[in-house]
Chain A
């Protein structure tokens, strides 16, 4: 799944350059640098050549007022979604990703900011504009499918067309065509209650694409389905999006799903976007400690910057001095940092390492056989590392091993003072 995703994204790097890696606001008090690394240039330079983005969200703020005080669900969030682009909003529950989606849909009214869809301002706090959902030229697929139980499958799908005044026969024809696209043409007369979960979500999908608005919002649409059905629908969804070319904003908390589907992922922390980038950027070059920690697994070793080289830094840690990729922005000597690296980016028991790479020695404490890979818990001085390996003979517990940690795979982030 991951490989397929990366292939797609490689292609997208050429044909569909990313957009302003608009992050959450980078307040001075913010502990993390919140801009993507310069080694992956933000494509602002050629932004003028592109057609107008499908959706522009600027400084959107949403506050829920509860009895226990105000809860800031969105804190000046900005993002752009291009025509035909598939953007996934990824984050833990309660981070505001669904709120952002519902604000775009017009189902929630934000407190400040601006939303533009297809060049039309649909929400602006300053100009006091708030268009209801039916005036926003978009469609949405809900987590609960939200099919109307009293209407047949065909009537469900034809409903959006009827609302924009399409004539009866034409609407039916278009609805049939949409159902054909999702492979449900033989179920037109059925009622939602008679379909399986996967089929119901296909109907919801057909309903979302039938009026061809060019923008479909997805609110965790696959999370109610079995794993197998989910995998199949994911692939179908990509095929459908490629064929029709709609822009998609897709909310999920499932990182594999995000990596597999997205042209770009927006990783959200509480109320703000931490990083926007291709799945590859997000996974390999997380720009904050939060992103590195939330997406995928990461080892984190605490240390202090000992010296700053060209492109690298030396970090003094409990397991020795590590040579690491220099962080951006640069950190001063003596700064408290964490070195993060992924279990699968380490190699075990190799001595033929390039000179520049870090070599650590440790003892295998425990091994977890996970099928495609084996995870080793390795004690290295006082730290515990997770290293995963695929193939090769199982290493017994208690065996001394050396762990190679490539410099290019390390990420250094400042540590918050506690």
Chain B
């Protein structure tokens, strides 16, 4: 009956669907699609292809240089170092991040407010500030914490001139990188745990399995895809993470690939060929890992995960509760409190010394970076205005897309795929492609603020899209429908109902994009210069030139800006949450 009826109807089948979709396009939605295509495809494909096409000869030569030429000697060590740092940091982040996520979601050691702060740790303290903070704490000669340890060891008769700890080592590199990767793991794993019905774990418990066996046999297999996704995220961000190896690697004489590529391009003459070859290699590697993950997850039998807002019985940890709480406290201490404290102490001194002399404390460094030095002032203004512009454009675009197409599943899927694409491209690759593509006609943008604007736009698109979708999803479809049957037009519904209700989520997304932009280092290192300075670049330069108290002051300033904006974000989203609970 159904089939007969369907064939009797005028339009049916895929062609009909496509025709209907095309007919429904309005000028508004066409504009949205074009903008999205420009940001996600145009700003990825154009630089990559331009770089490849124009530098093709250099690429061929570069391949030779890397495989058998002058660079072939250094390359194996660089690749090995990268492998060790990325693997080590990812493993470290997965252990810490998923342990804390499990504790917060499933055990009685609920982390409360700290649980909300954890996933934001890398936002509150931009990694570049964090790593500088750790460097001033654990520098083998002048580290503040090392000095404190030396003083402690003095009591048991041990006199040390350096150490006992040294941050400029592979271990330091791995741990600091892992610290700032852990929040992403935490987010992914705790989201998966929230979606996993605790009833499946309770069923295992009443079937006679203990908490540990349940975790190993039921919980872990169920969230395996999430763990794989978290690992991949760790690898992608680890490969392109620039701030940590740039700050620590020089002292440790450890080269990783992102710094190596940067050096190839910043030396004179610039070695574009090898840089492109390596960048393309990174891109291919990441895409292959993504495909691998996709296959792994598709084949898995993890479809039973469903629903949300479950409240299951929590695992009683007993005395281990304090261990977990201690771990969480230690984590926050390590990512935020200690580095910030180190930065504060150094920034208040005229020069970096581990011996704190209260009499010499001064605010001169803050005066210097905030008012006196032309470069830092310009960098602050540039970074803030870029953050503002990028956040506005991306949130407007993604917010309009998410709200406009909230009832159109097909459009949402296409938009999600497009906005997710740039997130799979290492920032190093974006930096290389942008430099090469935008240093020539027709778009000679190198050295301008525009090139930074475009790069930041691509790099934060995924954050903006995710925040906008979350905001749109939190609005039930019926809210808009109720407005329509209350005789409000489409646009009026958007303006009077959907936008105001989604506003807290959109503002939260705006803040996230802003904070990411202001703290960005990788693309900033590649694309910013003395004509278009931004904070990330200036911090690296000052660090290299040894202007430590000024670096500390500037790092502290951007941490303060980030932290207060994140605080505002928490406040807004919590209040909005309260309002919509019925």
A211 to B485, CA, bound (A): 11
Contact B17 A65 (CB under 8 A): yes
Q: How far does the Cβ of A182 sit from chain B's closest Cβ, in whole Å?
A: 16
Contact A145 B582 (CB under 8 A): yes
Known pairs A70-B2, A72-B5, A111-B9; A148 contacts B483 (CB<8 A): yes
Contact B484 A148 (CB under 8 A): no
A29 to B2, CA, bound (A): 13
Q: Which of B251-259, B510-518, B573-581 sits within the interface?
A: B573-581
A5 to B479, CA, bound (A): 33
Chain B contacts for A134, CB-based, 8 A: 484-489
Chain A contacts for B486, CB-based, 8 A: 134, 139, 159-160, 163, 207, 211
Q: List B537-582 residues whose CB lies under 8 Å from chain A.
A: 578-582
Chain B contacts for A139, CB-based, 8 A: 485-486
Known pairs A146-B482, A150-B501; A132 contacts B489 (CB<8 A): yes
A150 to B487, CA, bound (A): 18
Chain B contacts for A159, CB-based, 8 A: 483, 486, 488, 496
Other-chain contact of B9, A63, A107, A193 (Cβ < 8 Å): A63
Chain B contacts for A222, CB-based, 8 A: none
Contact A72 B6 (CB under 8 A): yes
A164 at the interface (CB under 8 A from B): yes
Contact B484 A112 (CB under 8 A): no
* Identity of the chain A residue whose Cβ is nearest the Cβ of B500 in the assembled complex: A150
Chain A contacts for B579, CB-based, 8 A: 149-150, 191, 193
Chain B window 267-291, contacts with chain A (Cβ cutoff 8 Å), 1 for yes, 0 for no: 0000000000000000000000000
Chain B contacts for A217, CB-based, 8 A: 485
* Identity of the chain A residue whose Cβ is nearest the Cβ of B13 in the assembled complex: A65
Chain A contacts for B482, CB-based, 8 A: 140, 142, 146-148, 204, 207
Residues of chain A at interface, number, CB under 8 A: 47
Categorize the interface residue count of chain B.
Answer: 20 to 34
B12 at the interface (CB under 8 A from A): yes
A195 to B581, CA, bound (A): 10
Q: How far does the Cβ of A170 sit from chain B's closest Cβ, in whole Å?
A: 16
* Identity of the chain B residue whose Cβ is nearest the Cβ of A164 in the assembled complex: B487
B478 at the interface (CB under 8 A from A): yes
B157 at the interface (CB under 8 A from A): no
Q: How far does the Cβ of B404 sit from chain A's closest Cβ, in whole Å?
A: 15
B440 at the interface (CB under 8 A from A): no
Contact A163 B488 (CB under 8 A): yes
Chain A window 106-117, contacts with chain B (Cβ cutoff 8 Å), 1 for yes, 0 for no: 110001100000
Q: How far does the Cβ of A167 sit from chain B's closest Cβ, in whole Å?
A: 16
Q: How far does the Cβ of A391 sit from chain B's closest Cβ, in whole Å?
A: 43
A138 at the interface (CB under 8 A from B): yes
Q: How far does the Cβ of A216 sit from chain B's closest Cβ, in whole Å?
A: 10
A70 to B3, CA, bound (A): 8
Chain B contacts for A75, CB-based, 8 A: 1-2, 5
Known pairs A134-B487, A144-B476, A160-B486; A200 contacts B582 (CB<8 A): yes
* Identity of the chain B residue whose Cβ is nearest the Cβ of A145 in the assembled complex: B582
Known pairs A132-B490, A134-B485; A149 contacts B580 (CB<8 A): yes
Other-chain contact of B501, A29, A135, A148 (Cβ < 8 Å): A148
Chain A contacts for B91, CB-based, 8 A: none
Other-chain contact of B5, A61, A107, A160, A207 (Cβ < 8 Å): A61
B215 at the interface (CB under 8 A from A): no
Chain A contacts for B582, CB-based, 8 A: 145, 147, 149, 192-193, 195, 197, 200
Contact A193 B580 (CB under 8 A): yes
A54 to B476, CA, bound (A): 30
A105 at the interface (CB under 8 A from B): yes
B473 at the interface (CB under 8 A from A): no
A72 to B501, CA, bound (A): 35
Chain B contacts for A29, CB-based, 8 A: 1
B78 at the interface (CB under 8 A from A): no
Contact B12 A70 (CB under 8 A): yes
B294 at the interface (CB under 8 A from A): no
* Most chain A beta-carbon contacts within 10 A, residue among B12, B16, B487: B487
A27 at the interface (CB under 8 A from B): yes
A71 to B484, CA, bound (A): 26
17 contacts between A and B (CB under 8 A): A63-B9, A70-B3, A72-B2, A72-B6, A105-B481, A106-B484, A107-B481, A132-B489, A133-B487, A134-B487, A147-B482, A148-B483, A159-B496, A160-B487, A163-B486, A193-B578, A193-B580
Q: Which residues of B contact A (CB under 8 A)?
A: 1-3, 5-6, 9, 11-12, 16-17, 476, 478-479, 481-490, 492, 496-497, 500-501, 578-582
